[in-house]
Amino acid sequence: MNRFLNWAKLLLGWPLSIIALLYVGKFIVEKGNEVIPLIQNPNPYFLLLSLLLFFICYLLRIYSWHRMLDKKGHRLDILETGYAWEFSELKRFVPGNIWSFLSRASLFQDLKVDKKTSSLLMLYEIELVIVSCAILSLLAIPVALEYLGVSLNFQFRAISYSIVALGAGLWISGNGLLKRKRFSSIFPDFDLIENAFLLFIYTAAFFSFGAGTFFASSSVFPLNPHEFLKYVGFFSFALLTGYLSIITPSGLGVREAVITFGLSKSLPIGNAGLIAIFSRIILMASEVIFAALIFVAARLFAQNTRRFLSLLLKYKHEVILFLLSVSYTLYFTLATFLKHDSFYTGRFDLGNMDQTVWNTIHGRIFQLTDPNGTETVSRLAFHSDFILIFLSPLYLLWESPKMLLFTQSIILALGGIFVYAIAHFFPGSFLLHA
């Protein structure tokens, strides 16, 4: 019997991981050969952003699993949790649909987590995926109304909100309401605040997933940014549909069909299909990259990674501030660059500031063309923004108005650091620090 279990564990380990990777690679190569010729100049910024958002989704799910284990009395190393979770998740691409669950139980049994606990937490995780994606799917109601008709707007919204609210409320408080009755065990036995927090984390994770899909799609076919939330909800709904499918591994094909059908009302069918397939390729590629990063962190550089994580925990507030500042800088740099490339920036004020800085670095201090004529005048005739003189050396690195936009984003982001520093003068004020 022990010999059989050892062979079973071996089969659930690297062999299945290799099969999953081969399956993913086969899909990427086959679909890539179809899709890549149709893609012209994909936006690299959007692709990188989509990968980052997918990584955030995976990290939040790992954190939730780690937190549930902790609540069950299993205090594991976060690296070991992340490694076991990710490599069991990777096996969901293997045809058969059960391999990821079997692998999860096997890998965590090696970490002294009994199969009953693993099975129970996997049930909670399935419920979290369904409920959180259902919550986000409410954002996609406008897509459904394109097929159902605007006349059903109120009725459809009322029914959808009621069902999702009932489902979320039941998941959060079901165990307490049933009080150890027959079906109480299918709901988490944590306290209400913990259940609500786990649902919030999972909703944030799949919001990040929907946003990642939006930017992956927009990298090859720009979607309307004003409908960002609608697309986040729709991509979450498509994921939910594929997740509930038991026919194909990881919902392959089902999710793509839903995306193609749902977007065909507002986009040409060819573009909708391209978005569906290309976003799947990026999603699968992101999971392979993330698995490789987890392997490197947990197996090759475990000690250094643990030291790094301990520093992050020690300076967690500063890390959060840094990440928010970097996120702000990246977002507004990208947004202003795209605005400039789309000719939405004018000579007031970016144009004449750019000219002033360019003239200054070339020896014509604070000079620009008169906006009301053709003569060269001093900018002092209009403004006394001497800071432009101090910014002019930046043009030695890059002579472009985008340098001013980039610098503006950095300076505004640094404002948060000064606010945080001021807050340290009032150590008793939690709200001021927040």
Helices 269-295 and 192-218: angle between axes, nearest 10 degrees: 120
Cα angle 79-81-82, degrees, rounded to a multiple of 5: 65
CA angle 100, 212, 21 (to 5 degrees): 35
Question: CA 261 from chain center: how many Å?
Answer: 24
Query: Which pLDDT score, from 0 to 100, does residue 149 have?
Result: 65
Distance CA 345, CA 343 (A): 6
CA gap 264, 253 in Å, rounded: 16
pLDDT in tens, the chain (434 residues): 445 444 444 444 445 455 544 554 555 455 555 556 656 678 888 899 899 999 999 999 999 999 999 999 999 988 999 999 998 888 776 665 677 788 888 888 888 999 899 999 999 999 999 999 999 999 998 888 877 666 667 788 888 899 999 999 999 988 777 776 777 778 888 999 999 999 999 999 999 999 999 999 998 888 888 889 999 999 999 999 888 876 554 445 778 888 888 888 877 877 788 888 888 889 988 998 999 999 999 888 888 888 988 888 888 888 888 988 998 998 889 888 888 888 878 777 787 888 888 888 888 887 877 777 777 777 777 777 778 788 888 888 988 889 989 999 999 999 888 888 887 777 665 555 55
Residues 317, 423 contacting (CB under 8 angstroms) = no
pLDDT tens, position by position, 290-320: 999 999 998 888 888 889 888 888 888 888 8
Kind of pairing between the strands at 376-378 and 367-369: antiparallel
Task: Report the C-alpha gap between 160 and 16 in whole angstroms.
Answer: 39
